Structure 1
């Protein structure tokens, strides 16, 4: 078996096909041989029974014992029987009383019960039929025998044909199986070659299987789907790398520029102090960006385990909205809370604060003046849904599927300047926090209705 496992799949399939077919043909050959042999013996037994019944017509009582009488009813039939069969007339003790045969050398058979049996006499196989007879009040036994040479000759011929035909059939089946296995595995070879030709820089190739939707077709479709996901993942990673480099380069460039200007000539102490303050702001921005990246990486890799507890929603949002009222007032945005009492979440309080602060800050930031941000909550059997809706603001539909990706920002947002747009990690962090709690974060946006973020989170007690 170890040697077989090292063969190519095509050869292994052919070997297994051939072995299974060989076992089937062997069983079928044995069945045919047994049925032919049984049929031939049944014919011999029928002939022996008929011969015994015809010979019985010539049995008579003479000189105090049973004998084949020449004056029987059908002497011609007895003569024909003597040419084809050996007929014995026995006493109840097994003594031969008379015989009917054209052969001078008669075989010797031991006493036999009634019925048919195969016996061997002097190396030859005979089929023997025995029956008890009673003539004129005298009992005896009639034995009809026929040599099995014709039957054995027929069986030997059949054995030769089977032994010759079986290897030939297996050879043809092996060749046909090898060809069919090659055709069946041809799409697999194509899949292998396509997969080998794909590299990180060449992810646009696809198998594009045009055959039936069988196991191989489903495999090809699965591989194409996997390649689609890989290409999308590589595209996200490339975009993430470019965006991360851009976000890191901006404060580093500002730091480098301020250092260069400051060092270009001697300056008053106040200028140095102002430069250090600006540099501290850029360093803080780098620290926040780095911390956000590390935090989201830990969430994605499931290294951060939330400390779960029951959190009362009304008190949580009461404190959060109090922190944001000054920001909302500065932008002329109204904050509305529509939360039912007795609503509890099951989660990590620190992570939940970060999740909802990101959503609320994002909603306030992108709500036009005189707009409104509304927080609503509802509960079902297992989950609590917190909806944060802002009016008079919408997101183009083509951007909605990408809002929760790292560093993704709507194109208009990238042009707003350094102070307003952020790094594009807030929604990605919020999405990962919801996922870490076994929940989900979704978004809907409509030019007439505004934008709504919904956080689906486990319900508390």
Structure 2
């Protein structure tokens, strides 16, 4: 059953209060019970001690035996008793209430025993004494009625005060919880005001509670991520619409022109070849998007091989040097000999090819592209430097997003259709590696970092 946190706190603290108060009450009652019993035992021990003094005097002893009513008057209340007996007979029997006395053992030390043979419990103190060569048993007792009444009265008050304490503490905790959770209610209200149209709104909730403040900061950070993802999705939708619209418009326009009048066989063949190019572009774009999506969702697995990096770089340069010559660019590679790397060969070539393609496309004429590789104990790093090129800092964090463009005019598309760097990032994710981009004085550097 769902309930408010304040109510749950109140119930939980109420249960804890019950345990604590009942434990304290039980201990208090037990201590009170022991204290009453101890006082009773001390009184009986004092009585036994006084009788022993009487017994030490022959004359006092004889008077006590002949006139026990004198000591009976000294005892006062009827619930007191005093018995002195030996093996043959009872010498003194002061027992106004005729309380039945059980058979007690002879002990030289003072002993205590509760006599529960009657309706009211009687506390007995008994001891073996010797006088004139005779052994006697001295018994003193008192009913515990008065002490039990005191304990009963104490227990009644203890139960009342315990219940009041439990109720009051539970109520106070509930009120305190209701007050302390005010920040949570404000946080809930502020969160409810945020919708898709107000993703830029943040929760401003000053709170003295560290946990609420941390929760507020965590929710604002979550809103930052949601807003970033939503904006990225909006840009992605816009970009994919544009990317699909351009080839579709081309196909539609070419088809409409072809249908506007009769065409020769050669013209129709040229039209079909043009359509085929657009279809291939669409197919490549869809395959790239599916590849990125599968990697992001963990549905793509690769088998790594031990590769000689210098050979892979050499094969790529054989192709890209021709492209670089069109812009009078130079490509250099500085790869240590026998540098082996554990990676998927096709994906490694694809990642490097995308970086080199961008370097050639966006590098300056008469510029330079330099590829270097270094190793550490835990990683292998491949750097691709495009000399003389700098990327504005505000764009660096977004370069690996799908269809992200520094120039919003959307021209000079690469063969990857704006997905090249996103594909590189996905490939590095498959290899549990990392891709970085940084501006250096010499130019911009893209780095592939593979774990070893």
User: Would you call these one fold, judging by a TM-score over 0.5?
Assistant: yes
Residue 86 (structure 1) aligns with? 81
Deviation at 1:357, TM superposition (A): 0.4
Q: Distance in 2 between matches of 1:136 and 1:110?
A: 26
Q: Please, which moves more after superposition, 145-154 or 195-204?
A: 195-204
**Normalised TM-score (structure 2):** 0.90
Is the partner of 2:7 in helix, strand or coil? helix
Residue 99 (structure 2) aligns with? 107
| 1:419–1:383 Cα change, 3 Å | closer
Residue 424 of structure 1 pairs with residue 418 of structure 2: yes
Deviation at 1:417, TM superposition (A): 3.0
Residue 11 of structure 1 pairs with residue 2 of structure 2: no
Is the partner of 1:164 in helix, strand or coil? helix
Deviation at 1:95, TM superposition (A): 4.2
Q: Please, which moves more after superposition, 199-208 or 416-425?
A: 416-425
Is the partner of 2:139 in helix, strand or coil? strand
Alignment check: 8 A CA contact 1:61 1:135 kept: no
Structure 2 segments unaligned to the other structure (5+ residues)? none
Deviation at 1:48, TM superposition (A): 1.0
Residue 248 (structure 1) aligns with? 244
Deviation at 1:396, TM superposition (A): 0.6
Q: Distance in 2 between matches of 1:416 and 1:13?
A: 59
Instruction: Please give the residue correspondences for 1:132-281 in structure 2 after superposition, counting only pairs within 5 Å.
Output: 132-266=128-262, 271-281=267-277
Alignment check: 8 A CA contact 1:394 1:445 kept: yes
Q: Distance in 2 between matches of 1:77 and 1:353?
A: 122
Q: Distance in 1 between matches of 2:151 and 2:340?
A: 88
Regions of 4+ moved over 6 Å = none
| 1:271–1:233 Cα change, 3 Å | same
Residues 260-287 of structure 1, C-alpha deviations (whole Å, 9 max, x = no match): 3343344565555554444433333222
Alignment check: 8 A CA contact 1:390 1:451 kept: yes
Residues 384-437 of structure 1, C-alpha deviations (whole Å, 9 max, x = no match): 1111111111101110000111110112xx447345696321000001100111
| 1:95–1:29 Cα change, 3 Å | farther
Instruction: Please give the residue correspondences for 1:15-414 in structure 2 after superposition, counting only pairs within 5 Å.
Output: 15-59=11-55, 68-70=61-63, 78=71, 81-83=74-76, 85-91=80-86, 93=87, 95-99=89-93, 101=94, 104-113=96-105, 114-266=110-262, 271-411=267-407, 414=408
Residues 197-226 of structure 1, C-alpha deviations (whole Å, 9 max, x = no match): 443343234433322353343333322222
Is the partner of 1:389 in helix, strand or coil? strand
Question: When the two structures are aligned, how many residues end up with a matched partner?
Answer: 444
Deviation at 1:177, TM superposition (A): 2.7
Q: Distance in 2 between matches of 1:119 and 1:331?
A: 118
Deviation at 1:195, TM superposition (A): 4.2
Deviation at 1:129, TM superposition (A): 1.0
Alignment check: 8 A CA contact 1:355 1:430 kept: yes
Q: Please, which moves more after superposition, 164-173 or 355-364?
A: 164-173
Residue 438 (structure 1) aligns with? 432
Alignment check: 8 A CA contact 1:385 1:456 kept: yes
Is the partner of 1:36 in helix, strand or coil? helix
Q: Distance in 2 between matches of 1:94 and 1:42?
A: 33
**Normalised TM-score (structure 1):** 0.88
